[in-house]
Structure 1
Amino acid sequence: MRSGLAHVFGVFGGVALALLLATPASAGPLYPQPDPDPFYAAPADLAEHPPGDVLDVRGMPPLPLFPGASVTLVKFRSTNSHGEPIAAVTTVLTPAGHRPDGPMLSYQHFINSLGTGCAVSHTLYNSDLNLTATTPMLNAVLQQGWSVALPDHLGPQMALGAARLGGQIVLDGIRAVKRLPALAVQNGPVVMAGYSGGGLATAWAAALQPSYATELQIAGAAIGGVPANLVTMARALGFDPHPAFGLAMATATGLEREYPDQVPISAYLNPRGFAVRDAIANSCTNSILATGANSSAREFVTSTSIFDSPEARSVVEANSLELYAGVPEMPMFEWHSPSDPLIPVDAIINTDRRWCEAGVRLDTLRVSAPEHLSAAAQGAPAVLGWLDGRVRGEPAPVNC
């Protein structure tokens, strides 16, 4: 159960919206400690590079999770939510016997953390990243000769909750990998996939591609269990105590990092709120969950005003996929449990309907799993088949 909660509330934590208050800020955001590895640092000439430019490359030790695959870190130039340059990283798995211009899957894992050491490129090498549901799928595509890219889609400030940022990082990561001759995927087909928070980053990448990365040819994207509307989640959860409140607090902290002027959360924390914020500021999922378990926003803020700030509300809306007017131009596969208790299913249905009306080639699947985490695994076989069809160039099915 804890893993299922972490999937959704690590991305949004609807209670986090209760921390977006109206009074002018008097305290700044708490950013993560910089990654001590100089590989992750932004170069001095970062602004001179266009989005997707490769900034550095590093070979890594093999991963027991993915037998036979070589591992490469790629640092590249991306863009934050304000149009400013940032350095981001993706981890590329290249299968043994990889053929030039073979397919590539950009897989967006959910990241429920605030510390730089909790990024996927780090946690692949320790036990904090829960890959139970995804390792079999990734190994299946590796065995078919596909390369796999795993981006750190929260960016260098670990801006948990900044979903649009994640979409841009995903697209720039694909650009960067395709620009590296040594990885031999320049002319091969590309597909994307992700579940929960990773599905959200994938969905944003698909929706932003027509405007942000027009030159990229992406054969399709599969998204599952997407928390498509932060506002809806906030209204549903309110101020009640929740076992995953620590991750809700982490989401609020992440949004403040990305939008310090519009989301001045730190200005309205009481002493207990500051203590919790400081305790989780560099933590990964399990520690964040333990710190805030069964707490509520009322315990940590000086006011419970929630929708008084139009600036904060605009940030939440701007990162809600359901409310984004743009639509993907690539084929899409979407799956979820209709009884998922952790995400607003109506927001998914509304997004699907709007995309269909706009002409998106959308194939949807309602799995029978009764909760969030099991729905990821139950949909995996259908996702693999759908992705394989896109790589093979088959016509994309539509069931709108």
Structure 2
Amino acid sequence: MVVPLPSADPFYTWDGPLDDVAPGSVLDTRTMPYGFHDQDTPITSTQVLYRTTDQFDRPTTTVATILRPLLPGPAKLISYHMAYDALGSECDPSYTLTGNGTYSQAGTFEQGVITGYLASGYSVVVPDYEGPDLEWTIGRQSAYAALDGVRAAESVLGLPASTPVGLAGYSGGSVPTQWGAEVAPAYAPELNIVGAAAGGLPVNLAHNLPYVSGSKDWAGVIPALIVAYQRTYGLDTAAFLNPYGQQIVDTVSSQCINAFASHYPGLTDTEMLQGPYTSLLEIPGVVRAINDNIMGTAGTPQVPMLLAVGDVDGTGDSVMITADVEGLAHEYCERGVAVTYAQYDRLSHSDAFLPFQAQTAQFFTDRFAGAAPTDNCAAVGPGNALAPTPVP
């Protein structure tokens, strides 16, 4: 079934007032196919348009895909956060899960994971957590979209707030997962979240930027990050980008990550900047945006956590910083959170996806069975601190 892009689909637009509408309220629903790159399946989904909250506590809306389990059983819900890492609406999970959009190996693997949860008796909700403006890596906003997606899913499915819920996501999907666990005690205390599993986390992008600058496979995330910060924080890119940098930013501004991440091998942020700047970390607006999205700074999770990352070169998994994830785990341990920290040595970001998913499946089996929380905090090193970068 061919459907219009979300940017051209009126279902995604809500013109009514939102100020007096509670977060998570259902605004509209429709039945849609659950497809796989133009291949039909017998499964259908319910798409829900719902009210949520943006990074600055203003009401907004987004869409989630709700999937019912393939086997009957006790009610249990997974909020699965796909790593769609998108700047264009054709990357939205609500679009790609209908069988539309271009092929993505990562998306294919994730759809397999989602289908596995359905076959194991879970209901699954997959939110478009970047929101209508595709604001990538933005922490609190992504968390609110995920938590309100759970609220909306419970309403659509007729499930009580006591329904056990798991939050899961890898790479870009770790953003709503980790931030969701942090802000849930204050933002959605009624939800019965039993655990959160986040892998390949971008804990502090001030550390990731120098790591990927000049990279063969990941340098394209640099202009994409500029796009996201421009949209969210109103960065004046003309004040620091040179014509080449602006050209790349314009090119990636409607793309999915598989179109830009490795498309600029060897690109450095220095090449994109006009004088006197030689690094994005010399630009006050960029540093403020990064500091506003450092994980571990918005609250303390009250549920067991699985935090995982690869380490392929002694620094990170080729894009995420291993010591950052360890530092986040250590900080949570210090605050009394039951944390399982998993480090996949010699595995890159892509290669660590599968062992993380296997470990996550066992983690949730235990969490939903009501097993006593376990942790390996005694073995977690200090890692890197969560300190903000001084603003120039």
Asked if 1:114 is matched to 2:90, the reply is: no
1:214 Cα shift? Answer: 1.8
The CA distance in 2 between the partners of 1:34 and 1:145, in whole Å, is 29
The CA distance in 1 between the partners of 2:40 and 2:369, in whole Å, is 24
| Residue 61 of structure 2: aligned partner | 87
State the SS of the aligned residue for 1:83: coil
Asked if 1:226 is matched to 2:201, the reply is: yes
Q: Which has the higher contact order (CA 8 A, sep 6+)?
A: 1
* Equivalence map 1:148-187=2 (5 Å): 148-180=124-156, 182=157, 184=159, 187=162
The CA distance in 2 between the partners of 1:220 and 1:34, in whole Å, is 31
Contact 2:6–2:90 (Cα < 8 Å) also in 1: no
Q: Paired residue for 2:303, among 305, 327, 330?
A: 330
Q: Deviations over 1:190-244 (max 9, x none)?
A: 1111111111220010011112212222011111111211111124445x36443
Q: Deviations over 1:126-157 (max 9, x none)?
A: 33442343344322221121111111111111
1:321 Cα shift? Answer: 0.6
Name the TM-score, length of structure 1 as normaliser: 0.83
State the SS of the aligned residue for 1:137: helix
Larger deviation: 288-297 or 80-89?
Answer: 288-297
| Residue 383 of structure 2: aligned partner | none
The CA distance in 2 between the partners of 1:378 and 1:34, in whole Å, is 33
State the SS of the aligned residue for 1:374: coil
The CA distance in 1 between the partners of 2:282 and 2:161, in whole Å, is 49
State the SS of the aligned residue for 2:49: strand
* Equivalence map 1:358-397=2 (5 Å): 358-397=335-374
1:76 Cα shift? Answer: 0.7
Asked if 1:318 is matched to 2:318, the reply is: no
Asked if 1:74 is matched to 2:48, the reply is: yes
Asked if 1:286 is matched to 2:294, the reply is: no
| Residue 334 of structure 2: aligned partner | 357
Q: Deviations over 1:156-208 (max 9, x none)?
A: 1101131332111111111111122x454654211111111111220010011
| Residue 264 of structure 1: aligned partner | 236
| Residue 390 of structure 2: aligned partner | none
Name the TM-score, length of structure 2 as normaliser: 0.85
Q: Across the two proteins, how many residue pairs are aligned to each other? A: 362
Contact 1:362–1:397 (Cα < 8 Å) also in 2: yes
Q: Deviations over 1:315-373 (max 9, x none)?
A: 20111114x15221111112222332321111111111110010001122223452111
Unpaired runs of at least 5, structure 2: 378-392
The CA distance in 2 between the partners of 1:49 and 1:161, in whole Å, is 26
Larger deviation: 362-371 or 340-349?
Answer: 362-371
Q: Paired residue for 1:194, among 169, 189, 193?
A: 169
The CA distance in 1 between the partners of 2:194 and 2:127, in whole Å, is 18
Contact 2:140–2:179 (Cα < 8 Å) also in 1: yes
Contact 2:26–2:152 (Cα < 8 Å) also in 1: yes
Contact 2:198–2:308 (Cα < 8 Å) also in 1: yes
Contact 1:307–1:313 (Cα < 8 Å) also in 2: yes
The CA distance in 1 between the partners of 2:254 and 2:211, in whole Å, is 28
Q: Which amino acid aligns with 2:230?
A: E
The CA distance in 2 between the partners of 1:350 and 1:243, in whole Å, is 25
The CA distance in 2 between the partners of 1:391 and 1:88, in whole Å, is 28
